[in-house]
Amino acid sequence: MAHFPIRIGTLRPGHSVFFDVFILISEKYVHYLRSSDPFDADRLEKLKSKGVKKLYIRAEEEKNYLSYMEAGLDSLKSAKMSKVQKGVIARDSMVTEAENLERNLDSQEGYEKAQNRVSKVLEYLMSDKGAAKSILTNAGVSTDAYQHSANVASLSLGLAPRVGIFDPDELFDLAMAALIHDLGKVKLGIPFGLEKEKLPRNLITKYYSHPSVSVDMVADKKYVTARTLRLIADHEEIGDGDGFPEHKKLIKLPPCSQVLNLCNDYERYSSIQKIPPLELFRTYIGERGHFFMEEHLLKLGAMLAGK
């Protein structure tokens, strides 16, 4: 029987689940919670204290879980929910989207539903200046490509309105590009969290090809917009032609690309240095700031400070 991983942060204390929940112990899926039972807060905290980040459901119950997750995202509008709780829900929901997006790309319905869920995180980010900081407080250092992509999406959606990007379609394309941009790295088997200079020689060429591989993975999907494909293709272009694959000048790229490329570089630097995004800004400015626009860097710093 196939099982499907779910992020523990998407489970809400006191709310009944619509699916059976399992925990993985010694490579066996052990039944943990019955459908229609609520998750109590103490039980969730014990799991978190033990370092448990994922639980599991039966694959055929994925739709029930996604409905439950959408209800959780709706709660981001609630004045009764603490900012900490909202940050956890938004953060783990974005990681879930990144983990499952390749499968959701198989159909227009799946892609559009993913967009709808992401739009709820976007609404939260636009409604509260401190939202991005709240999400990233719970993020820590990314340990895989999916956490990285989720953080890049949250950073990008938080920064974009601050630099004047408000068009909903443009923001949705930015969000989906952020979640998709490194699928090529995963497909090519490029290790996460290593500087490209430290990659084995046989992976260097693959590394430089990963933007085009990511584009190729979604180029035949008519519901993925041309702008999203362009954002993915250009996401490694930085500075005055210092990036790749086409060595474009960042200042000549559209504002959405400028935002995505900064947030991608910033989050990747965080994972390489093993410093959480909220603690990294001063170090990053000194090491990498010259590749990006000063105005965007200042707005990124203000966002990370919750201002």
pLDDT in tens, 255-307: 999 999 999 999 999 999 999 999 999 999 999 999 999 999 999 999 999 98
Query: Phi first, then psi: what are they for 173, rounded to 5°?
Result: -65, -40
Q: From 110, 121, 128, select the one nearest 152 (Cα to Cα).
A: 121
User: Can you tell me the distance from the alpha carbon of 131 to that of 177, in angstroms, rounded to the nearest whole number?
Assistant: 21
Q: With 0.95 as the threshold, say if the pTM is over it.
A: no
- pLDDT of 39 strictly over 90: no
For residue 86, which of 99, 101, 74, 68 has the smallest C-alpha distance?
74
Amino acid at 24: L
Q: Which helix (H) or strand (E) holds 112?
A: helix 108-127
CA 97 – CA 99 distance, rounded (Å): 5
* Mean pLDDT for the stretch of residues 24-33: 91
Q: Which two tokens stand for residue 37?
A: 């039972």
- The model's pLDDT over 120-150, given as tens digits with 9 standing for 90+, comes to 999 999 998 899 999 998 778 999 999 999 9
| pLDDT tier, 55 (very low <50, low <70, confident <90, very high otherwise) | very high
> How high is the pLDDT of residue 81?
87
Angle at 280 between CA 278 and CA 283, to 5 degrees: 155
What is residue 40's predicted lDDT score, i.e. its pLDDT? 85
Q: Find, among 86, 54, 66, 87, the residue nearest to 17 by Cα.
A: 66
Q: What is the mean pLDDT of the chain?
A: 93
Q: Residues 11, 12, 14, CA angle at the centre, nearest 5°? A: 130
Which residues on adjacent β-strands are paired with residue 13? 39
pLDDT of 186 strictly over 90: yes
Q: Quickly state the pLDDT bin for 241 (edges 50, 70, 90).
A: very high
Strand positions, DSSP E, 8-157: 21-25, 28-33, 54-58
Q: What percent of the chain has pLDDT over 90?
A: 69
**For residue 245, cis peptide bond before it (omega within 30 degrees of 0):** yes
* 59 burial via Cβ count (<10 Å: 0-12, 13-18, 19+): exposed
Where does the pLDDT of residue 95 fall: very low under 50, low under 70, confident under 90, or very high at 90 and above? Answer: very high
3-state DSSP call for residue 243? Answer: coil
Question: 197 pLDDT band (50/70/90 cuts)?
Answer: confident
Task: With cut-offs at 50, 70 and 90, classify the pLDDT of residue 1.
Answer: confident
CA 165 to chain centre: 19
Give the residue from 189, 151, 163, 183 showing the smallest Cα distance to 302: 163
Q: Where in the chain is the domain with CATH 1.10.3210.10?
A: 82-304
pLDDT given for residue 2 in this prediction = 87
What's the pLDDT tens digit per position in 158-174?
A: 999 999 999 999 999 99
CA angle centred on 82, ends 151 and 5, rounded to 5°: 45
Name the helix (H) or strand (E) containing 207: helix 201-218
CATH class as words, domain 82-304: mainly alpha
How large is the C-alpha radius of gyration of the chain?
A: 19
Question: Which residues, 6+ apart, have CB-to-CB distance to 54 below 8 Å?
Answer: 5, 6, 7, 8, 24
pLDDT of residue 13: 86
Are 236 and 245 in contact by the 8 Å Cβ rule? The answer is yes
Instruction: State residue 7's pLDDT score.
Output: 87
Residue 11 buriedness (CB in 10 A; 0-12 / 13-18 / 19+): buried
Q: How far is residue 132's CA from residue 126's CA, in Å, rounded to a whole number? A: 9
Q: In the structure, what pLDDT confidence band is assigned to residue 211 with cuts at 50, 70 and 90?
A: very high
**Distances, alpha carbon 98 to alpha carbons 92, 247, 254, in Å:** 10, 27, 24
Determine the Cα–Cα distance for residues 39 and 9; give it in Å rounded to an integer. 12
